[in-house]
Every structure is written in C-alpha cells, then in structure tokens.
C-alpha cells in the first residue's frame, strides 16, 4: 500500500474572524463550528487508510509561537506528527511548502505529499478522501494536482481555477489559468459559465516533481530554503529551520512562485462541500440557522432578528440582539464586533485600525496560551493585577524572578509544587504562598488533573516582559 504524507500548514492570523481569531491564537486552533478545532479536523481527515493508499504521519509547518499548540492538539486527537518544522519568520506559502518538500524528499525520494491549509471546513471527509484517490494517477504522470471546489454562489472572496471545459465528476482535468478574486459581475459570469472552480489551495504531488517545478520557475528560492533545511536544528522534538538562510527566502505564495507558471497542472473537481471560513459571512453560512436566518452560538438572545449572526464567547456575557437585520455581532470578554454582514470582508481593516491605536485587542486574546497551560487577567488596576492560571498535568513554569512585582498564589483546584528560593513544597486547595519581589520561584502541577491558581500581583510594573528565566523546560528565550 502506497503512502501519502500530509503537510499541514499552520501559519496565518485569520484577521477577518476578529475578535475570535487573532495573531496570538488564530482561527485554525479555535473550535469554530464544533468541539473540534479546524486544525484537528484537518489532521483527522488525513489520517489512516484510504483505498489503495494510506496517510503517513503528517509534516507540520508552523512558527515558534504555535509549536506547542500544534503538538498538543494533535495529541488530543491521538495523532503523532512525523516532523514539526519551525519557520523562523513568515515567508508565505512557497518557502513553507518547499521546506516540507525538501525534508520529505531527503527521507524518501519517492515521497508523495498532500499539502493542506488547516483552517478550512470539509463537511464530508469521505468524499474528500475519494477526491484525493482520484488525483493520485495524475501524480504518477508527473502532474501537480490541485483541488477545485464546485461553486454554489458568485463568491468574490475566493480565487478561481479556470478549466478548458466543464468538469465531469472527479476526473482530473488540465488547468487553463488561475483567476484572482473577481468583482461581483465577473463572479456571476464564472458561476454561469461552469468552467471555473474555487481555488482551495490544496495540492497533491510527488516531492521530486515539485522540486523540479521550483528549479524551473523559482530557482532563487531553492538555495536559501535548502540551506535552511540542511541547517535545521532539533529542539525538544521540533526541527528549527536555520533562521539566517530562511530569512533570505523571498516572501511569496506557492501560486505566484510555481503554480501559475507550471504547464503540468491538473485539477480534481470537488463537490463535497467546503469553506475556508475566511469571514464571519462564511461562518454564518456554515452554522445552523433558525427559520428567520439567525445563527446563534453561546449565551445569546435574538428578538425579532433576521439573517443575523449572534455569537458570545464569554459565559458571563449575554449578547442580546433586538430588531437586527443582516448584522453580525461577535462578543469576546475584551472586544465586541458589530457590523453589517455585507462588510464581512472588511473586518481586516478593523484590526489594522486597532494596531494604529496600539490596542492589544488587535493581536492578542485575553487568554494567553503557554506550553504549560494558559492564564487570563481577571482584574487590572494601577499597581495590581489578578490572574487565573491553569497548569495542565505535568506542566512546569520556568524558574524565574521579577524586578518590579511581588506575587500571592492561592490554589483553588488541584495541587501545586512551588519553589521559592531554596524551599520546595506542595500547596493544596485553599492554601496560599507569597513570593517576595526579586525572589527566584516556579510552580508546577505534579497531579493528574489541571491545577487552577489565582495570582495576585502587586508592584510598580506588571508587564509580561518583567521575567528573568533561569531554567525552562520549554527552552524559551
């Protein structure tokens, strides 16, 4: 049985789904439509046997900030990754995919790769697997295969693939051209013509053929990316690409670098349902709606509303819509978005505006995820801050000290092993400890259940950069 190695791309910030998706924790890691994240659903879709072939453990390409998130979420689904490549800097999809291709080819010159974003919705995994199987024979002929989604509306937010003729089932057909995101009139013409499919950004190919495509169409990328892969350093089970070499790679998409220039492209038409969830409009279309077209999630109340999205991500925040028509309202503990649904593609401009105002809400969630768990600020004052800290079983914070603040820790669930100076002791529920300013300290969870702790900070400066680390299990700088 032949093997296909999935390549899971985990970059991007999903700014059009602000305020739920932010740079610090983008949409692929968020349970948008179910208890499962988009990233987890993608990994599960590309796992196990599929007819005459099987999926190998995936190669994951991500950045340093997400390295523990990708492995933790895979672990929750029972999937072990093959390799996790850490990009030192964002360089778009062409260098990221090429790095995975070179890594796979070095280990298996006959490797077949299936490259997929991890922020898309595919409601019918079996139908998608069938489409992958349909594309395999084309790879035997040296074709680079892409997947085109049969459009069900005149969508202006997607790129399109133009075919020479109307597709027939899922048989691979030659690609005529790539088309940028069209205006409404052009999108309607494409829909009626029947020879255009949405560009899903999913690719199937032999590693050797993709290397040849880069040699022919983007040779300038091969040198720096190859040096970055050859110079990669293992780090806690991850593989860090060489930063100096990778920084020399051009910032360019795979479509511009290779695909739009290649003559050996085939398209597998796919009609099994798909969305890239690239906007709140797309989320509204995928969510269950009542007879008035209202999609509701979380603690929300809709009164006399029509064709509206109401979503609250805070258990204690009740979002009420009264007399709304064609509106999207998304509430987070620290930010609320209210807009007409027709402006869904413009939400990115909101993020850009907030950045100019130096608002932390532009890029960071109130809940800060770390390798050991997460924390969130509950109350922030002039010289104090109250946090809730959750440490997963086995999680260990760094051995550290602070120049400007002291801390009080109160354990409310589980047991903490606390180090203060030379003393190490267990602190159980309803017990507390005090860490004086400047004292070296750490906490860890030695138990089998999550440990929850309330931290009260007092001092002249309470920023997260007031940390001096002496030891760190997770090798953070």
pLDDT per residue as tens digits for the range 170-223: 889 899 889 888 888 998 989 888 899 999 999 999 999 999 999 999 999 999
Same structural domain, 386 and 421: yes
Same structural domain, 118 and 231: yes
pLDDT digits (tens, 9 = 90+) for 310-328: 999 998 999 999 999 999 9
What are the contacts of 213-219 at 24+ separation with CB within 8 A? 213/144, 213/258, 213/262, 213/264, 214/98, 214/257, 214/258, 216/261, 216/262, 217/257, 217/258, 217/261, 217/262, 218/94, 218/250, 218/252, 218/257, 218/258
pLDDT band (50, 70, 90) for residue 69: very high
Tokens of 200: 């899903």
pLDDT band (50, 70, 90) for residue 113: very high
Same structural domain, 45 and 86: yes
> Are 99 and 225 within 8 A, CB to CB?
yes
pLDDT at 96 > cutoff 80: yes
Q: Is position 317 within any domain?
A: yes
Average pLDDT estimate for 1-17? 88
Three-state secondary structure string covering 192-230: HHCCEEEEEEEEEEEHHHHHHHHHHHCHHHHHHHHHHHH
Q: Is position 476 within any domain?
A: no
Instruction: Check residue 477 and give its pLDDT.
Output: 59
Q: Is position 70 within any domain?
A: yes
Q: Is position 362 within any domain?
A: no
Most confident residue range from 147-151, 169-173, 380-384, 450-454: 450-454
> Are 44 and 81 within 8 A, CB to CB?
no
CA dist 133 and 137 (Å) reads 8
Cα–chain center distance at 164: 34
- Report the share of the chain in percent with pLDDT over 70: 100
Name the DSSP class of 436: -
pLDDT digits (tens, 9 = 90+) for 246-272: 999 999 999 999 999 999 999 999 998
Same structural domain, 337 and 384: no
Same structural domain, 125 and 188: yes
Nearest 5°: phi and psi at 388? -105, 130
Instruction: Check residue 468 and give its pLDDT.
Output: 93
Instruction: Check residue 461 and give its pLDDT.
Output: 95
Same structural domain, 60 and 190: yes
Strand 53-55 and strand 2-9: pairing? parallel
Q: Is position 280 within any domain?
A: no
Instruction: Check residue 213 and give its pLDDT.
Output: 97
Same structural domain, 138 and 42: yes
Q: Is position 285 within any domain?
A: no
CA dist 376 and 278 (Å) reads 27
Instruction: Check residue 93 and give its pLDDT.
Output: 95
**Total tally of structural domains belonging to the chain:** 3
Q: Rounded mean pLDDT of the chain?
A: 94
pLDDT band (50, 70, 90) for residue 292: very high
Strand-pair partners of 338:
329
Same structural domain, 260 and 403: no
Dihedral (CA of 41, 270, 139, 215) sign: negative
Same structural domain, 301 and 442: no
Same structural domain, 55 and 168: yes
pLDDT band (50, 70, 90) for residue 431: very high
Residue 311: domain span: 290-356
pLDDT at 166 > cutoff 90: no
pLDDT band (50, 70, 90) for residue 130: very high
CATH number at residue 113: 3.90.550.10
Instruction: Check residue 1 and give its pLDDT.
Output: 64
Final residue belonging to a domain, choices 327, 356, 385: 356
pLDDT band (50, 70, 90) for residue 143: very high
Average pLDDT estimate for 338-355? 95
> What 3-state class would DSSP assign to 67?
helix
pLDDT band (50, 70, 90) for residue 26: very high
Q: Is position 181 within any domain?
A: yes
Cα-Cα-Cα-Cα torsion 300, 303, 304, 305, nearest 10 degrees, comes to -10
Tokens of 334: 């620290």
Instruction: Check residue 310 and give its pLDDT.
Output: 98
Strand-pair partners of 49:
54
Dihedral (CA of 272, 276, 277, 282) sign: negative
> What 3-state class would DSSP assign to 248?
coil
Q: Is position 83 within any domain?
A: yes
pLDDT band (50, 70, 90) for residue 11: confident
Average pLDDT estimate for 384-395? 96
Average pLDDT estimate for 291-303? 97
Average pLDDT estimate for 398-403? 96
Instruction: Check residue 97 and give its pLDDT.
Output: 98
pLDDT band (50, 70, 90) for residue 475: confident
pLDDT band (50, 70, 90) for residue 51: confident
- Output the CA angle 159-162-166, nearest 5 degrees: 130
- Output the CA angle 135-139-142, nearest 5 degrees: 145
Same structural domain, 199 and 232: yes
Same structural domain, 308 and 379: no
């Amino acid at each position: 049985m032949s093997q296909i190695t999935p390549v899971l791309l985990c970059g991007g910030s999903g700014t059009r789904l602000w305020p739920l998706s932010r740079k610090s924790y983008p949409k692929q890691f968020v349970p948008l439509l179910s208890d499962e994240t988009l990233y987890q659903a993608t990994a599960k879709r590309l796992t196990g046997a599929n007819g005459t072939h099987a999926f190998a453990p995936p190669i994951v390409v991500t950045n340093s900030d997400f390295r523990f998130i990708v492995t933790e979420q895979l672990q929750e689904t029972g999937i072990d990754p093959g390799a996790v490549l850490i990009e030192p800097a964002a360089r778009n999809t062409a260098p990221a995919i090429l790095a995975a291709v070179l890594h796979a080819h070095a280990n298996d010159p006959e490797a077949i790769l299936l490259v997929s974003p991890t922020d898309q919705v595919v409601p019918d995994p079996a139908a998608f697997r069938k489409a992958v199987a349909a594309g395999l024979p084309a790879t035997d002929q040296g074709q680079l295969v892409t997947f085109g989604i049969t459009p069900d509306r005149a969508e202006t937010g997607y790129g399109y693939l133009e075919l020479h003729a109307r597709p027939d089932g899922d048989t691979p057909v030659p690609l005529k051209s790539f088309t940028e995101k069209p205006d409404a009139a052009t999108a309607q013409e494409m829909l009626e013509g029947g020879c255009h499919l949405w560009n899903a950004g999913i690719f199937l190919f032999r590693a050797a053929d993709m290397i040849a495509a880069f040699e022919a169409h983007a040779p300038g990328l091969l040198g720096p990316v190859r040096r970055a892969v050859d110079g990669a350093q293992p780090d806690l089970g991850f593989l860090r690409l060489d930063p100096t070499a990778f920084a020399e790679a051009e910032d360019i998409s795979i479509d511009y670098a290779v695909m739009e220039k290649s003559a050996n492209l085939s398209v597998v038409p796919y009609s099994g349902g798909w969305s890239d969830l690239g906007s709140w409009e797309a989320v509204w279309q995928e969510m269950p709606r009542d007879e008035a077209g209202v999609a509701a999630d979380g603690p929300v109340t809709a009164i006399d509303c029509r064709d509206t999205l109401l979503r609250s991500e805070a258990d204690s925040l009740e979002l009420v819509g009264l007399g709304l028509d064609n509106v999207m309202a998304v509430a987070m503990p620290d930010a609320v978005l209210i807009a007409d649904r027709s402006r869904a593609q413009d939400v990115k401009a909101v993020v850009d505006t907030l950045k100019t105002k130096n608002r932390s809400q532009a890029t960071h969630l109130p809940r800060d995820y770390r390798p050991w768990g997460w924390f969130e600020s509950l109350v922030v004052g002039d010289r104090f801050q109250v946090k809730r800290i959750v440490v997963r079983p086995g999680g260990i914070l760094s051995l550290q000290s602070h120049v400007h603040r002291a801390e009080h820790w109160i354990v409310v669930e589980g047991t903490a092993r606390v180090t203060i100076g030379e003393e190490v002791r267990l602190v159980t529920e309803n017990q507390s400890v005090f860490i004086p300013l400047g004292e070296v300290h750490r906490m860890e969870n030695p138990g089998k259940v999550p440990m929850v702790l309330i931290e009260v900070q007092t001092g002249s400066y309470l920023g997260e950069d007031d940390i001096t680390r002496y030891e760190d299990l997770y090798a953070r700088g």
